Amino acid sequence: MRRGNIRILVTICVFVALFILLLCLYSDQNHYLFSQKTNSYSIDLNFDRKLLDKDYELDLEDEDVLVFLHMQKTGGTTFGKHLVKNLDIDQPCECIKGKKKCNCLTRKQTVWLFSRYSTGWACGLHADWTELKGCVDKEMDKQEGLHRKRRFHYITILRDPVRRYISEWKHVQRGATWKAAKLYCNGRQASLEEVPFCFEGSTWKGVSLEEFIKCKFNLANNRQTRMLANLSKVNCYNGTGMNEELRQRLLLESAIENLKNMSFFGLTEHQRDTQLLFQHTFHIKFSKDFEQYNKTHSEKAEHKVTQEQISLIENLNALDVKLYKFAKRLFEERVKVMTEEMNEPESSPVSVIESKSREQHNETLDYVEELFKEAS
């Protein structure tokens, strides 16, 4: 090959390498700036009485069915067990030791609870709002062997976004995955091109927090917003064809709207109020009181989470931070209305919920420092 041709080839290779480098840098910067832009979204925190005073006279023997949307690491396992083991109703679930699922049937042998511990993951592992809406009725037809009129009451539990994210990281670090999740939307599953795995091999066991944070395709990012939103509004997991800022805005707006329309939601950080509000909303009681766990049962961390890492997690979960702020305020107002109706003095721990983002940040940082302090 002539010397001139070699120079041309080298020049082309250099330009291609520089182009790829700039493209990667732009992508990272755009990802960061985008998280910053979501912090400027304005959310209406004024609620009308109808939204605050949800009230249902459940008739589980007829058309009413509870549908539990269980998001990862929100305390949903504990809440789900309360539903199948501790509800004080005429026809409670029948749970047999050694079996993963309980029989939650009415006298007519129809299902009154759609959840992990009753019907199993019938619509997919940790099915989200989009998956459940397109699946529950058909799946219940299969399980009951008939088609009937049903009135679905969607319920869920939310958690502080930073705490939830760290809990998911610890869970994945121990070897857990949700690779079996369908991510079903608009008639098909998400492709690997749309949602690549963050790791090679069967698990991501031993992953550091730094590695966990760096993966752009990590489904832990803004998980609660994505799982509560109608993904059909943003072309599911296909990120092309829509401005990214518009996509994120639509996701957040949809998640908030769906949360408002749910019959009930609770907060992991406020177990007692979650129990009381559920009982007040549906006029059914639990036979056992909920307990507030101030510390998780996760194994001790090998390193300490820094304030810089907390800030990175907040940026990556900017939508969830906004969503949770809305959920906390709505939850707080519902507890106040409930307390007024019960004609009891307001002594709920929810009254100390911080409304300022800085206070929320400090509370989370204190929690994480306690959780991850090195073993002495």
DSSP string, 50-111: HHH-------TTTTEEEEEE--TTSSHHHHHHHHHHSEESSS--B--TT-S--B-B-TTS-B
Q: What does the pLDDT read at residue 6?
A: 65
Structure token digits, residue 141: 């037809």
Sign of CA dihedral 290, 291, 297, 300: positive
Q: What does the pLDDT read at residue 10?
A: 59
Q: What does the pLDDT read at residue 31?
A: 44
Which of 41-50, 85-94, 327-336 bottoms out in mean pLDDT, i.e. has the lowest? 41-50
Which of 26-30, 44-48, 306-310, 331-335 bottoms out in mean pLDDT, i.e. has the lowest? 26-30
The Cα–Cα gap between 204 and 175 comes to 6
AA identity, residue 157: I
Q: What are phi and psi of 105, to 5 degrees?
A: -120, 150
Q: In the beta sheet, which residues pair with residue 65?
A: 152
Q: What does the pLDDT read at residue 304?
A: 79
Q: What does the pLDDT read at residue 325?
A: 98
Which pLDDT tens digit goes with each residue over 284-311? 999 999 999 866 543 345 357 999 999 9
In 3-state terms the chain splits into helix, strand, coil percentages (rounded to 5) of 45, 10, 45
Structure token digits, residue 99: 């079996």
Q: What does the pLDDT read at residue 45?
A: 84
Q: What does the pLDDT read at residue 376?
A: 33
Within 8 A by CB and 6+ apart from 35, the residues are 315, 316, 318
pLDDT(109) > 70: yes
Structure token digits, residue 138: 């058909």
E strand map for 187-254: 188-189
| pLDDT tier at 41, thresholds 50, 70, 90 | low
**H or E segment at 285?**
strand 285-286
Q: What does the pLDDT read at residue 3?
A: 57
Burial 170-182 (b: 16+ CB within 10 A, else e): bbbbeeebeeebb
Q: What does the pLDDT read at residue 333?
A: 98
Between residues 31 and 218, the one the model is more confident about: 218
The Cα–Cα gap between 124 and 120 comes to 9
Q: Which among 70, 82, 126, 270 is annotated as catalytic?
A: 126
What is the pLDDT of the chain when averaged over all its residues? 86
Q: Are 350 and 331 in contact (CB under 8 A)?
A: yes
Between residues 20 and 260, the one the model is more confident about: 260
Domains of the chain: 53-371 (3.40.50)
126 in active site: yes
Q: In the beta sheet, which residues pair with residue 113?
A: 66
Which pLDDT tens digit goes with each residue over 172-196? 999 999 999 999 999 999 999 999 9
Give the pairing of strands 64-69 and 151-158. parallel
Between residues 32 and 56, the one the model is more confident about: 56
Q: What does the pLDDT read at residue 195?
A: 97
Which pLDDT tens digit goes with each residue over 201-252? 999 999 999 999 999 999 999 999 999 999 999 999 999 989 999 999 999 9
